[in-house]
Amino acid sequence: MPIIVADQFVEGPPAPRYVGRVARVLRYVADRNHSDTLDYNDIRSTNVVEALVYIAGGAEGFMPDGYDTGALHWNPYTHDQRPIEVQRFARIDCTNLFVWRGENHRTPVVDDETTWPIGMKEDLAVNDAWHAEQDRKRAEAQAWNEEVRRRRRAKAERDRPKKGMRMVAVRGRKVPPGTVGTVAFVADDAKVLLKPDDGWQRRDVDGVWVDPRNLEAWRPCEDPDHYDCRASAEMAAACASEFFYTESEEVNCVDNALVTSFVPVRLRVRPVEAAKKKAR
């Protein structure tokens, strides 16, 4: 059976379309805009119904949207490349959201394989394999992004300055990168007072105010999350091969690549009076 289209403004029985070309009826839940005007959006969770239709060989209502280049089909508008066998299928929406506004009512029914055109079964197998591979890649990318976000959240919590915490400067110009000290005070404006390890509790020992974004918790170099080797070998190798994108952020390879090591330096601050005497 094809897609049964019922036109409210045409008398007579519903008209069948795409006879012998409906390979599958897809049903899933997704967000759809139920607004029938351009004044507002009404996004709701909707039970979507789509018909997978074989459009090769001049199916009605479909025009070529690109060019066949070898074994791939290239769309010049979206720059999307897909196997030709995949491009021979199209999804037709049969959710019938706006039937109440006069839209045609579509009822999809899967056609028997004996009525399929020649080559449709083979192309459907290639289409299913290609989409399965895309789903696998999408799941891997999502797992990668979740792991990167988890590591970033854990690192942000681990590097949150606390009084008595030993920290190291990893960037900035005021305090040389590699400088190690102990947090003596955390101000309300988020500035951190860093003092030498052996005198961070003494009031007569001077320190320096450092932006907390330039500090990281001090950890031994064998720690895989240390600033000197913050990406594991596995993640660095994967990051060097691909970029993964999410809705809210781009995980850039540069952010997770291995950084150049530097020798940590203990924080040494000259007392103010001694500095004035030397200046005289």
Q: What is the pLDDT of residues 80-91, one digit of tens each?
A: 677 877 878 888
Q: Is 140 a member of any domain?
A: no
pLDDT at 236 over 60: no
Do 102 and 210 belong to one domain? no
Which of 249 and 177 is assigned the larger pLDDT? 177
| pLDDT in the model for residue 264 | 44
| Judgement on whether residues 264 and 172 belong to the same structural domain of the protein | yes
49, 47, 62, 79: which is closest to 17 by C-alpha? 62
Which segment of 30-34, 70-74, 169-173 scores lowest on mean pLDDT?
A: 70-74
Q: Please check the confidence at residue 254 and state whether its pLDDT lies above 50.
A: no
The reply to whether 143 falls in a domain is no
Whether 166 and 113 share a structural domain: no
In a domain, 47, yes or no: yes
Q: What is the pLDDT of residues 133-167, one digit of tens each?
A: 989 999 999 999 999 899 889 888 888 999 999 99
Mean residue pLDDT across the chain: 76
136 falls within a domain: no
Among the ranges given (29-33, 59-63, 117-121, 276-280), the one the predictor scored with the smallest mean pLDDT:
276-280
**Same domain as 75, residue 12:** yes
Question: Comparing 31-45, 107-121, 241-255, 259-273, which segment has the lowest mean pLDDT?
Answer: 241-255
Give tens-digit pLDDT for 55-70: 887 666 565 555 566 6
- Does the structure show a pLDDT above 90 at 242? no
Would you give the DSSP letter of residue 170? -
Same structural domain, 166 and 275: yes
Tell me what pLDDT residue 100 has. 86
Coil, strand or helix at 52 = strand
Asked if 105 and 187 sit in the same domain, the reply is no
**Domain end point (choices 117, 145, 177):** 117
Looking at 117, 143, 170, which one is the last position of a domain? 117
What pLDDT, on a 0 to 100 scale, did the predictor assign at position 11? 82
Residue 157 lies in a domain: no
- DSSP H or E segment with residue 83: strand 80-83
The pLDDT score that the predictor gives to residue 122 is 92
User: Which residue, 170, 190, 173, 183, is CA-closest to 265?
Assistant: 170
The pair of three-digit structure tokens given for residue 125, joined into one six-digit string: 């197998």
The pLDDT of residue 246 is 31
Q: What is the mean pLDDT of residues 34-38?
A: 83
Query: Per-residue pLDDT averaged across 173-179, rounded?
Result: 84
Q: How many domains does the chain have?
A: 2
Q: How far apart are CA 217 and CA 175, in angstroms?
A: 15
Residue 128 domain-assigned? Answer: no
Composition of the chain by helix, strand, coil, percent to 5: 30, 30, 45
Task: Report if residue 238 sits inside a domain.
Answer: yes
CB < 8 Å & 24+ apart, contacts of 195-204: 195/267, 195/269, 196/266, 196/267, 196/268, 196/269, 197/166, 197/266, 197/267, 200/164, 204/271
**265: pLDDT strictly greater than 70:** no
In a domain, 249, yes or no: yes
Mean pLDDT within 233-259? 37
CA 269-273-274 angle, to 5 degrees, is 60
Model confidence band, residue 37 (pLDDT cutoffs 50, 70, 90): confident
Q: What is the residue range of 191's domain?
A: 162-279
- pTM of the predicted model as reported, rounded to 2 decimal places: 0.59
Is 181 found in the same domain as 84? no
Q: Given 50, 85, 117, which residue is the final one in a domain?
A: 117
Q: Say which residues have a Cβ less than 8 Å from residue 188's Cβ, sequence separation at least 6.
A: none
**Contact (Cβ atoms closer than 8 angstroms) between residue 243 and residue 251:** yes
